[in-house]
């Protein structure tokens, strides 16, 4: 197929601002004000408490903390695959102030349904529930580091799905 024709035939996915309500089917948004908050340390610290909970399954599974250093993607972004981790949640929190892109998809009989995209601010992280289809880490414009809290262990925890027809993800 002609490349230009293929591009014109691609289905678009519009990235909307990331909100806790819209993201709830897929997991939690990690942001100040997103949960209970209280003062600790003799008034010197506000704790925004339990914005997300890590979940892991498996005999030797553990909750591990890693740093991901991601190369940036541009918009529109051609989405040709998503992946999921059945054995654990996966949290991403940006270590820079740049906005970034979050792509997820509902499950439809073991395969990803129509993807949804969210534009996250630089002070918003996410925690994907176990088994949620999602795009790879997609910083925008500039390289960016993220703190990642996910599942460690020896079991196979990666399932990938390549779309027959890619989507293009863009802003309105």
Q: Is 9 helix (H, G, I), strand (E, B) or coil?
A: helix
Between 48 and 161, name the residue whose CB sits nearer to a second copy: 48
Q: What is the size of the binding site for a second copy (CB under 8 A)?
A: 43
Give the list of residues 6+ apart from residue 163 with CB closer than 8 angstroms, or none. Answer: 79, 80, 81, 82, 112
What token pair was written down for 150? 């996910």
**Dist CA 120 CA 44 (whole Å):** 28
According to CB under 8 A, which residues from 39 to 68 bind a second copy?
Answer: 40-54, 62-68
Q: How far is the CB of 172 from a second copy (least distance, A)?
A: 25
Residue 130 has what DSSP assignment? T
Between 16 and 19, name the residue whose CB sits nearer to a second copy: 19
Which chain residues interact with a second copy by CB under 8 A?
30-32, 35, 40-54, 62-71, 73, 91, 93, 95, 123, 125, 127, 136-137, 145, 147-149, 152
């Amino acid at each position: 197929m002609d490349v230009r024709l293929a591009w014109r035939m691609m289905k678009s996915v519009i990235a909307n601002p990331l909100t806790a309500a819209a993201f709830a089917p897929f997991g939690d948004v990690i942001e100040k004000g997103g949960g209970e908050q209280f003062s600790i340390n003799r008034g010197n610290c506000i704790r925004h408490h339990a914005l997300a909970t890590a979940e892991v399954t498996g005999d030797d599974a553990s909750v591990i903390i890693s740093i991901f250093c991601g190369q940036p993607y541009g918009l529109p972004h051609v989405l040709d695959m998503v992946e999921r981790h059945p054995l654990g949640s996966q949290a991403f929190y940006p270590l820079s102030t740049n906005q970034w892109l979050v792509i997820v998809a509902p499950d439809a009989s073991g395969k990803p349904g129509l993807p949804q995209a969210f534009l996250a601010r630089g002070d918003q992280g996410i925690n994907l529930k176990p088994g949620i289809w999602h795009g790879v880490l997609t910083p925008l414009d500039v390289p960016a580091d993220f703190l990642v809290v996910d599942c460690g262990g020896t079991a196979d925890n990666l399932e990938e799905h390549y779309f027959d027809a890619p989507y293009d993800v863009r802003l309105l």
